[in-house]
């Protein structure tokens, strides 16, 4: 592997870890748990893994002699910075337990388990990828683990390789699958533990015990750097409004964090739009009003941050998409037989009156995008909906109307951007390098303690790393019932932006000022080397949530 100068320098970086993980550990059980909602339904579906206690690891004076164990690892779903360090931490952890332990990586995600495609991850391989971005050590995939046939097929190779535990590194859907797999293997006494690790740059996999999902810190810093670059260009040329869509299908954490870091003129928060029952026209008028007020000051430029999943949070659009999801799940074959030129009218004829009228009012391109193939979980692929273009065009139309009425005399030119893949495989920040390594090492401790159906947890991460708290939580604790593919399914509940939380309140207290002033912040690139106050800082979101700012 040819390495850049930065990567060569990062090879020598030794991730910081909680003090409790430096040497022998003991597991201490905390309070027993229940699911976040739908307790009776979840308990019925997970009788063997429901209600287990939260676990915390503490230093132990007793050095246990543990047998060597074989462990499997899967990278599941979209990439997030730091995944390789989770594997490195897991590798070092099982080797610390017994040097004879072996780690196997399944190739290209859960599909590798089902198809029996794997490789042993030796020290030589793992060392090549420490502190690097991407998932290219073993690749990732989006195959869902959800059927008994898949579970049994996976068990064949686990038994053949004498694997005693499987670690699934993924987001909410991947960890939901991990929980289902753990329950099944426990129910048949398969002798295979299943442990999850919280990954998603979207930041929507968290609770009191999972402070943040890994990759969020790095991705937000990468996006904020580029937003800062655009804002500097914007303030230099002074002739464009930049509409910037950011990752975040189900929550606006990335948009909010980037706003806190960069101070844009407009940042839309999907959760607020839903709560205020705003229409698409309301959103357009809100942006247009700020554009006009800045034009009165002679500032015909600015930046607008847009969460990827905004469309689904506009209440009327949410109802439309929900009906479309159910309809297409049941009539997919028939729909695919309809000529493309006739698909729009076909959909209009099949929807309820209210949704039919809304669908008919949408621009052709957006209407078509709403009917594209669903993701593996049955959801509309909102990243394919060009919300940034839609809003830019609608704001332009609105301003033209205002100009014809003599209410607007400014100039309005736009540039549109979507920042997605740019942040998913970035070299991890110091925070994510440390956090991910600790998550992996903690997973090895959960395995050694015989746990299954748990998610690795590292808390108190706004403090110095030696004061971080390592442990695990039952995945069932995070679950509720949701409609997927037209049926109610158990899934991990997504963590949305809390409108009464400190991060949003900080944003809300400043957004009116940022709208009219050009108070841009240019964060610059992620800092790996330099003063602690620059290179080791967690996100604004995490510091505000914990009252550390």
Residues involved in catalysis:
202
**Encoding tokens for residue 294?**
């800045």
**Encoding tokens for residue 81?**
């910075």
Contact yes or no for 87/137 (Cβ under 8 A): yes
**Encoding tokens for residue 10?**
């990062």
In our burial notation (b when 16+ CB lie closer than 10 A, e otherwise), range 163-185 reads bbbbbbbbbbbbbbbbbbbbbbb
> Could you give the CA distance from residue 26 to residue 66 in angstroms, rounded to a whole number?
13
Beta bridge partners of 215: none
DSSP string, 367-435: HHHTTSPP-TTS---GGGS-HHHHHHHHHHHHHHHHHHTTS------EEEEEESHHHHTSPPPHHHHHH
Give the residue carrying structure tokens 């602690």.
Answer: 532
Distance separating the N- and C-terminal Cα atoms of the chain:
41
Contact yes or no for 169/80 (Cβ under 8 A): no
**Within 10 A of 478 (CB to CB), how many other CB atoms are there?**
29
**Encoding tokens for residue 119?**
């490789």
How many distinct helices (H) and strands (E) make up the chain?
22, 15
- Choose among 303, 208, 306: nearest CA to 248: 306
> Could you give the CA distance from residue 138 to residue 105 in angstroms, rounded to a whole number?
6
- Report the SS3 class of residue 320: helix
Instruction: Please compute, for residue 453, the number of CA atoms within 13 A of its CA located in the half-sphere on the CB side.
Output: 24
**Encoding tokens for residue 424?**
């998913």
Beta bridge partners of 473: 455
> Could you give the CA distance from residue 205 to residue 218 in angstroms, rounded to a whole number?
16
Helix (H) or strand (E) holding 153: helix 148-160
Report in angstroms the alpha-carbon separations of 491 from 105, 359, 501. 25, 29, 24
Contact yes or no for 20/58 (Cβ under 8 A): yes
Contact yes or no for 259/507 (Cβ under 8 A): yes
Helix (H) or strand (E) holding 243: strand 241-246
> Could you give the CA distance from residue 435 to residue 440 in angstroms, rounded to a whole number?
9
- Choose among 478, 547, 485: nearest CA to 49: 478
What are the strands of the beta sheet with 469-474, ordered from one edge? 25-32, 53-59, 469-474, 454-459, 193-198, 163-170, 70-75, 102-106, 118-120
């Amino acid at each position: 592997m040819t390495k850049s100068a930065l990567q060569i320098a990062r090879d020598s970086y030794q991730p910081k870890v909680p003090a409790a993980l430096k040497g022998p550990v003991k597991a201490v059980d905390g309070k027993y748990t229940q699911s976040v909602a739908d307790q009776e339904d979840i308990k019925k579906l997970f009788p063997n893994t429901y209600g287990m206690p939260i676990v915390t690891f503490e230093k132990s004076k007793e050095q246990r002699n543990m047998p060597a164990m074989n462990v499997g690892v899967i990278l599941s779903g979209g990439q997030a910075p730091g995944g390789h360090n989770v594997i490195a931490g897991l590798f070092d952890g099982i080797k610390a337990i017994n040097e004879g332990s072996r780690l196997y990586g399944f190739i290209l995600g859960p599909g590798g388990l089902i198809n029996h495609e794997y490789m042993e991850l030796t020290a030589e391989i793992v060392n090549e990828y420490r502190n690097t971005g991407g998932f290219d050590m073993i690749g990732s995939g989006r195959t869902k683990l959800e059927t008994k046939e898949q579970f049994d097929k996976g068990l064949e190779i686990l038994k053949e390789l004498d694997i005693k535990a499987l670690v699934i590194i993924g987001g909410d859907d991947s960890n939901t699958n991990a929980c289902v797999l753990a329950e099944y293997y426990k129910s048949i006494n398969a002798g295979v533990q299943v442990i999850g690790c919280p990954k998603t740059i979207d930041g929507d996999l968290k609770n009191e015990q999972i402070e943040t999902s890994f990759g969020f810190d790095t991705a937000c810093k990468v996006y904020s750097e580029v937003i800062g670059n655009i804002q500097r260009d914007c303030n230099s040329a002074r002739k464009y409004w930049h509409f910037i869509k950011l990752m975040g299908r189900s929550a606006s954490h990335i948009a909010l964090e980037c706003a806190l870091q960069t101070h844009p003129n407009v940042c839309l928060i999907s959760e607020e739009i839903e709560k205020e029952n705003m229409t698409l026209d309301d959103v357009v008028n809100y942006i247009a009003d700020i554009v006009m007020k800045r034009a009165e000051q002679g500032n015909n430029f600015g930046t607008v941050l847009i969460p990827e999943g905004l469309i689904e949070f506009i209440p009327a659009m949410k109802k439309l998409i929900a009906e479309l999801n159910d309809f297409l799940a049941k009539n997919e074959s028939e729909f695919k037989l309809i000529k493309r030129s006739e698909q729009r009218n076909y959909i209009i004829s099949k929807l309820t009156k209210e949704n039919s009228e809304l669908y008919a009012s949408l621009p052709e391109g957006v209407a078509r995008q709403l009917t594209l193939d669903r993701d593996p979980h049955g959801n509309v692929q909102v990243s394919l909906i060009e919300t940034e273009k839609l809003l830019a065009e609608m704001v332009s139309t609105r301003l033209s109307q205002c100009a014809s009425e003599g209410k607007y005399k400014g100039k309005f030119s736009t540039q549109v951007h979507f920042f997605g893949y740019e942040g998913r495989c970035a070299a991890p920040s110091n925070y994510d390098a440390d956090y991910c390594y600790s998550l992996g090492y903690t997973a090895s401790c959960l395995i050694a303690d015989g746990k299954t159906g748990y998610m690795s947890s590292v808390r108190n991460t706004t403090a110095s790393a030696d004061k971080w708290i390592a442990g695990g939580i039952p995945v069932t604790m995070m679950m509720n019932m949701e409609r997927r593919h037209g049926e109610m399914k158990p899934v991990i509940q997504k963590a949305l932006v809390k409108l009464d939380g400190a991060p949003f309140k900080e944003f809300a207290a400043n957004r009116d000022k940022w709208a009219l002033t050009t108070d841009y912040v240019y964060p610059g690139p992620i800092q790996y080397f330099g003063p602690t106050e620059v290179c080791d800082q967690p996100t604004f979101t995490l510091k505000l949530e914990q009252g550390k700012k």
